[in-house]
Structure 1
Amino acid sequence: MRPTTPTGAPTVSSDVLDHPAFTVPPLPDPTATSGVAGLRAAVVRFCDGPVHTARRRSVEVVLGGLDVRAVAGQHPTAAVLDALGLPGALLADVDLVAAAYQPHLPVPAAADAAADRLVAACGGPSEQAAARVCVLVQAHAATTALVERLRTGSPEPPVPVTRRVGPDGTEVLVDLTDAPYGRGPHACPGRDLAPHLAIAALR
């Protein structure tokens, strides 16, 4: 392990992403059915095991059916909204939810309302809707950061760390410097799409 970070969680190598004993942190409200908490409880990002496997398949189906035609200078998330047949006005809602998506972040009421609007726009509460919203929200912050990294020539990964809980119950930060799209079961399923969207946004 490396020295403890200012957050109090030790930082570890990305090798732990291949280790089944390191799991995603537990959700603060795993039974929630609405708002950001309900979205977290329904998406692939915050679960492990067979549930994760099934939800990942749903996300892969969504990604496999996308015909993304990114326009030069277009925001990456706007391109994904277009490909999903959703109105571009939902970009503001995606932004609100993405800013509150991680379980350690606070959730303002505006983000809860935005999450419910996104789920409704994607067909209402279901595994398929969760997969569609998941693609939008998880791609949003990371791809926006990737655009900035490409613009400035920064070698830093768009998402510098992720979180896991070790076998002793300690939450750790996982350094993604050498694994910018993750690794193991939770590796980013949209790694081929992200650079395409980012490069189009810069044109």
Structure 2
Amino acid sequence: MPLLPTAVLEDPRYRVPAAPPAGAGLTWLRSQVPRFCDGPEHLRRRARVDRVPSSAVIPNLIADPTTALLEAFGLPAGCLDDVALVAAAYQPHAPQSPGADAALERLVDACGGRSEETAARLCLLVQAHTAMRALIGQRRTGAAGPPVPVTRRVAPDGTTVEVDLTDAPFGRGSHGRPGRALAEAWAEVLR
């Protein structure tokens, strides 16, 4: 798969892989979050995610970042394993499993059911989970590079391409990572 430079992230001809509408499981979550859509719908969903009160989470030396986010959202710390399962299968090209779909359904139930607010909270939890762990690990070891090394786009000719995030560790443009300030604060405190 071609690896393109980050300039592609600000080129409107390169779109994010779109998620089709769905009623359950990970396909439902993908169909509700800004990561898998462009245009006005992306802006609306992104504004919803940006309103999730994650900035109120204060890092401390004991807390796991995902556990702290769960607690900030009023969810039990016991949901951590479900977040990890969902995060591992969040991208459509990642290995999928019935276990990840079941974990997503448990998280939806814990959030009070399917809604735009539930999707926004789960979007932030799931996208932050792996990236925050990678960023914290890098800070602790002194490793360089972005916590998530590549992202995907659909080129104008319809092929899927990967975009190198080396010079844009949190993305760039309208699809820049939500929760960047929170992730950097956690990484700094926990390193």
Name the TM-score class by shorter chain: over 0.9
Looking at structure 2, the residues matched to 160 and 39 of structure 1 have their Cα atoms a distance apart, in angstroms, of 23
Residue 109 (structure 1) aligns with: 98
Contact 2:55 2:182 in 1 (8 A): no
Match of 1:147 in 2: 136
Match of 2:107 in 1: 118
Matched residue type, 1:15: A
TM-superposition CA deviations, 1:139-168 (whole Å, max 9, x none) = 000001001111110111100000001111
1:90/1:118 contact within 8 Å kept: yes
* 2:13 equivalent to 1:33: no
**CA contact under 8 A between 2:153 and 2:160: conserved in structure 1?**
yes
In structure 1, list runs of 5 or more residues that go unmatched. Answer: 1-8
- Offset of residue 124 of structure 1: 1.0
In structure 1, what is the Cα distance between the partners aligned to 2:150 and 2:62? 28
Deviation at 1:67, TM superposition (A): 1.6
Distance 2:127 2:135 in 1: 13
Q: Which runs of 5+ in 2 are unaligned?
A: none
Q: What is the CA–CA distance in structure 2 between the aligned matches of 1:41 and 1:79, rounded to whole Å? A: 26
Are 2:16 and 1:24 equivalent residues in the alignment?
Answer: yes
Compute the displacement of 1:15 (Å).
Answer: 0.3
SS of the residue corresponding to residue 79 of structure 1 reads helix
Paired with 1:132 and 1:124, the residues of 2 have a C-alpha distance of 12
Partner of 2:170: 181
Partner SS, residue 192 of structure 1: helix
* Contact 1:68-1:83 at 8 Å conserved across structures: yes
CA distance in 1, matches of 2:75, 2:187: 20
1:62 to 52, 59, 70: 52
Q: Secondary structure at the match of 1:42?
A: coil
Return the TM-score normalized by structure 2.
0.96
Asked if residue 44 in structure 1 is aligned to residue 22 in structure 2, the reply is: no
- Distance in 2 between residues matched to 1:168 and 1:138, nearest whole Å: 28
CA RMSD of aligned residues (A): 1.2
Per-residue deviation at 1:66?
Answer: 4.3
Matching residue of 1:4:
none
Q: Give 1:93's aligned residue.
A: 82
Give, in whole Å, the separation in 2 of the partners of 1:126 and 1:66. Answer: 21
2: distance between equivalents of 1:199 and 1:113?
34
Say if 1:79 and 1:197, in contact at 8 Å, map to a contact too. Answer: no
Identity of aligned residues (%): 54
Residue 158 of structure 1 aligns to a residue in which SS?
Answer: coil
Contact residue 93 and residue 115 of structure 1 kept, 8 A:
yes
